[in-house]
Structure 1
Amino acid sequence: MFCSNPSYLSMQRALHFLIIIINISILTACAQPPNEVENAAQLFNEEKYNEALTIINSYLASYPKDELAWTIKSRIHAATGELDSAVYSINQATKTNNYEKANIYKAMIYHQANLYSDREALKILEKYQFKYTDDLEIQSIIGSLHYKTNMLKEAEQDFELILKQKPNNYNALSYLGAVNRKQNKPDIALEYLNKAIDIDSTDYFAFEQRALLYTSANLYEKAILDHSRLIRITKNIPTLSTIYAFTFNNRGFAKYKLGKLDEALDDINSSLQLAPENAYAYKNRALVHLEKGNMELACEDLFKSSLLGFEEKYGNEVNALIQENCK
């Protein structure tokens, strides 16, 4: 088996949506918005966060009760990983409830800051799902949380509705690929993922899902190619550092299945250097050691994997290997 860690990866995907651009149309929430707010939103769209923050801070010094400005400020902080500041700013935005969408962003940011669980955030966001059917960001967040909580039918419906409005929406295509992969519909999943990659070959999610799909189909050479692309994409993105680490482990497993044991060991060692608490990587490294006849090293890794909670997360595979090889 290989490690997809779907819970963690889908969380990262949900958080990724938090830095999707602000649609300028939200500015209609305030009548005749000042140019400063509009300029800050545009700079946010362009990922010029420092410039956007400078403008919005200056504006808030003069207009400290502007809910829209506080919302934009919170999203800038969320996009740059400053979660305490993001939480403070979104709380300022929701003090009066004059700007309803601030409550939606609050649920998103509280989720990112681990102040709301998946289901707590979803409970709030679902209240607004049918009120803002044309807001694809809100619909995408809800769909991603349905996916993360394993509500696959709901997630499928969410993203199919997005595709009706925007047939080439990358997020909808990639998530429908992920949903169908989990529903054991590999042909449909691959069709969606290929379309998503054709639209955007710079994002990680579709490559990650297609690599896992190839591994499940024993197409290890193709899986290795996608894992290698995924490593290049996530290498220098701090918010995707865990995915970067796990991808080395997954590529190592594919190499192990092809009998490339030394290369597999190098990849899994790299993964463990980056994420030393990953029980799945220890299990995979144990498989390589077993294949190479290094029983002592294999058993050390199996016991370490068990200690890190492999059974609770993934099942009885490690315990069975211990019983078979480490008596």
Structure 2
Amino acid sequence: MNHNKLILVPFIQFCLCAYSQNSNQFEGLGWENLKNKNYVIAQEYFSKCTFQSDDNFECLYGLAYSNYKLKNYIVADSICNYMLLIDKTVREYKYIKTNGHWLKGLIQIQLSYNKKAIDELKKAIEYQNNPDILNALGLVYLKDNRLKKGIKYFKKAIQMDSLNAYAFNNLASAYLMLEKIDLAKLNLKYSENILPANPYLYKNKAKVAAYEGRYEEACKFIQTSKELGYKKFEFEDNSDDLESLIKKYCSTR
């Protein structure tokens, strides 16, 4: 009997088990830190995870997303390109294809390539017809001043999820841009009934009030938006940020 083999086999099994545990631990810590917006630390853990296992696609996605949040857009895009080479036989195929194209779409928005962003988001929808992706696609069309297309995708998002407060609010944004104030008000009402503490809702309510000459009310709404933790998101232009609107509405009284 080969006694060395008896010792070696359990040792290899132990090493593989420890290797797997470390990889899973790094992945878990990566997602935990990503959730808590500790993007640098998340990036470190996902890097360790992918170093141990370069075919752990969830770790790769976490690494791409943490780089995206750190504004390392070219790095994030390169990781997405690698992820999207995933074989159809892999369990996470649909998840990675959806999220990979979704993230590439967000990256293209940051790089001001709206057409490329639209193409990537449409590819994501091919793998999962998700209301959040439909909503995002509508926002890119709004950013590109293609309002009818934007409205089309917001309505599709609402058809899939009738409690999507953000899609109702974004639909209101489109109608505001078209100066269809009654339709904007109607959709803001739907949005408020679903999610009354939405800071983006109050920004649009401020715009409606200002359009109707109610600047004091517009100022109150925009201040409420700030108090609720409004943060600029990927699809906004600088001229439409909160501080600009506060100066515009609150100094007009």
Shorter-chain-normalised TM-score: which range? Answer: 0.7 to 0.9
Report what 1:317 is aligned to: 244
- Cα shift readout 1:68-100 (whole Å, capped 9, x = no counterpart): 9xxxxxxxxxxxxxxxxxxxxxxxxxxx77722
Structure 1 residue corresponding to 2:99, chosen from 137, 158, 171: 171
Shift of 1:205: 4.2
Amino acid at match of 1:163: L
1:101 aligns with 2:23: yes
The alpha-carbon distance between structure 1 residues 148 and 322, as it changes in their structure 2 partners (threshold 3 A), is same
* Alpha-carbon distance in structure 1 between the residues aligned to 2:145 and 2:167: 17
* Alpha-carbon distance in structure 2 between the residues aligned to 1:129 and 1:139: 6
Shift of 1:253: 0.6
Task: Give yes or no for contact 1:204–1:230 (8 Å, CA) kept in 2.
Answer: yes
* Alpha-carbon distance in structure 2 between the residues aligned to 1:99 and 1:303: 48
Structure 1 residue corresponding to 2:178, chosen from 258, 274, 284: 258
- Cα shift readout 1:23-71 (whole Å, capped 9, x = no counterpart): xxxxxxx97xxxxxxxxxxxxxxxxxxxxxxxxxxxxxxxxxxxx9xxx
* Alpha-carbon distance in structure 1 between the residues aligned to 2:82 and 2:188: 40
1:285-304 aligned within 5 A:
285-304=205-224
Amino acid at match of 1:136: F
The alpha-carbon distance between structure 1 residues 272 and 149, as it changes in their structure 2 partners (threshold 3 A), is farther
Report what 2:39 is aligned to: 118
1:184 partner SS: coil
Shift of 1:180: 0.5
Matched length:
225
Identity level (%): 21
* Alpha-carbon distance in structure 1 between the residues aligned to 2:143 and 2:59: 32
1:155 aligns with 2:76: yes
* Alpha-carbon distance in structure 1 between the residues aligned to 2:51 and 2:131: 29
Amino acid at match of 2:100: A
* Alpha-carbon distance in structure 1 between the residues aligned to 2:81 and 2:35: 29
Task: Give yes or no for contact 1:177–1:188 (8 Å, CA) kept in 2.
Answer: yes
Amino acid at match of 1:137: E
Report what 1:187 is aligned to: 115
The alpha-carbon distance between structure 1 residues 213 and 298, as it changes in their structure 2 partners (threshold 3 A), is same
1:99 partner SS: helix
Amino acid at match of 1:300: K
The alpha-carbon distance between structure 1 residues 179 and 128, as it changes in their structure 2 partners (threshold 3 A), is same
Report what 2:6 is aligned to: none
Task: Give yes or no for contact 1:177–1:209 (8 Å, CA) kept in 2.
Answer: no
1:276 partner SS: coil
Shift of 1:193: 1.8
Shift of 1:105: 3.6
1:132 aligns with 2:59: no
* Alpha-carbon distance in structure 1 between the residues aligned to 2:152 and 2:77: 28
Shift of 1:324: 4.5
1:215 aligns with 2:135: no
Q: TM-score normalized by structure 2?
A: 0.75
The alpha-carbon distance between structure 1 residues 311 and 174, as it changes in their structure 2 partners (threshold 3 A), is closer
* Alpha-carbon distance in structure 2 between the residues aligned to 1:134 and 1:311: 35
Amino acid at match of 1:286: A
Shift of 1:110: 2.5
Amino acid at match of 1:222: K
The structure, 1 or 2, with the larger RCO (C-alpha pairs under 8 Å, 6+ apart) is 1
Amino acid at match of 1:270: Y
Report what 2:237 is aligned to: none
Structure 2: state its 5+ residue gaps: 1-11, 89-93, 234-240
1:63-102 aligned within 5 A:
99-102=21-24
Structure 2 residue corresponding to 1:197, chosen from 109, 125, 136: 125
Moved more, 149-158 or 116-125: 116-125
The alpha-carbon distance between structure 1 residues 283 and 159, as it changes in their structure 2 partners (threshold 3 A), is same
Shift of 1:108: 4.3
* Alpha-carbon distance in structure 2 between the residues aligned to 1:211 and 1:301: 25
Report what 1:46 is aligned to: none
Structure 1: state its 5+ residue gaps: 1-29, 32-67, 69-95, 237-243
Q: TM-score normalized by structure 1?
A: 0.59
Amino acid at match of 1:180: Q
Report what 1:57 is aligned to: none
